[in-house]
Amino acid sequence: MKCTPSHRLLLLLTILLLQACGKKAEGPNSLSKAEKNEGWELLFDGETTNGWHVYNKGKLASIWQVKDGELYSNPENMSLETGDLVSDRQFEDFELKFEWKMTKGGNSGVFINVLEREDIPTPWASGPEYQLLENSHQDYTNDVKRPGCLYGFDAQKNRIESLPFGQWNQSRIRQVDGKIEFYLNGVLTAEKDLTSAEWQASVAESNFKGFPEFGKRISGHIVLQDWAKGVAFRNIKVKVL
């Protein structure tokens, strides 16, 4: 049978269609081929809270919900269990990247190196915080409480604004041998060596001095903070280093 130009065109269209059907489009809460090759993993699958639980309460229905590919704390349904959301896994040397957005006046955070124990009532009693803050919040003018800060300790290393409410910010946390780096929208905002005498001295002079487990660890859980104003996350990805 002679292959006419129309046959060749039909064959080409068929091949392209089969390739398109076999290739999943990259969107929120997915890994690119490059990310997979680099060792990145999803900590949020875009559909469920699998891999997470409520601090000191385990896996139960809570105000943490998933809708339209977003993991969010719903402040309007207080009949459900409240609390911060904890990764089931613990991490030591790692890189974490995530996107977040706030309701107007929102305030939240991401804690690292958290020790989950019943006699420790809250994640911030053990884990340092990457501050999340919407730019109309009253704390936005406090240098050690601005978004991307190591909360309560240092001003932003390089000053940058977070995006207004309803817009997605991009954040990254990197920790190697207890040395941490925080980034907000591509800009380095904090650096600290959690194994240093300087760090321990700063903790001893801070509002956290009454919490004996605070800042002592260089491994632990990752925690998303529940807050009354509402916060949403997506594209939560981790790479073990």
Residue 182, beta-bridge partner list? 173, 190
Give the tens place of pLDDT for each residue, 153-183: 999 999 999 998 889 999 999 999 999 999 9
Spatial distance between the Cα atoms of 123 and 111, rounded to a whole number of angstroms: 7
Distances (CA, A) of 11 to 1, 2, 19, 23: 14, 14, 12, 19
3-state helix, strand, coil in the chain (%, to 5): 15, 35, 50
Contacts of 241 (CB under 8 A, 6+ apart): 93, 94, 95, 174, 176
pLDDT for residue 49 is more than 80: yes
pTM of the model: 0.88
In terms of phi and psi (left: phi > 0; alpha: psi -120 to 50; beta: otherwise), the region of 58 is left
Give the tens place of pLDDT for each residue, 191-237: 999 999 999 999 999 999 999 999 999 999 999 998 767 899 999 99
Mention the CATH class of domain 34-45+87-240: mainly beta
Contacts of 130 (CB under 8 A, 6+ apart): 109, 110, 111, 112, 148, 149, 150, 151, 171, 173, 182, 190
Whose CA is closest to 125, among 136, 134, 133, 117?
117
pLDDT given at position 42: 98
Whose CA is closest to 77, among 67, 89, 64?
64
Pick the range with the lowest mean pLDDT from 9-23, 133-147, 226-240: 9-23
Q: What amino acid occupies position 3?
A: C
Spatial distance between the Cα atoms of 108 and 128, rounded to a whole number of angstroms: 13
Q: Determine phi and psi for 199, rounding to 5 degrees.
A: -65, -45
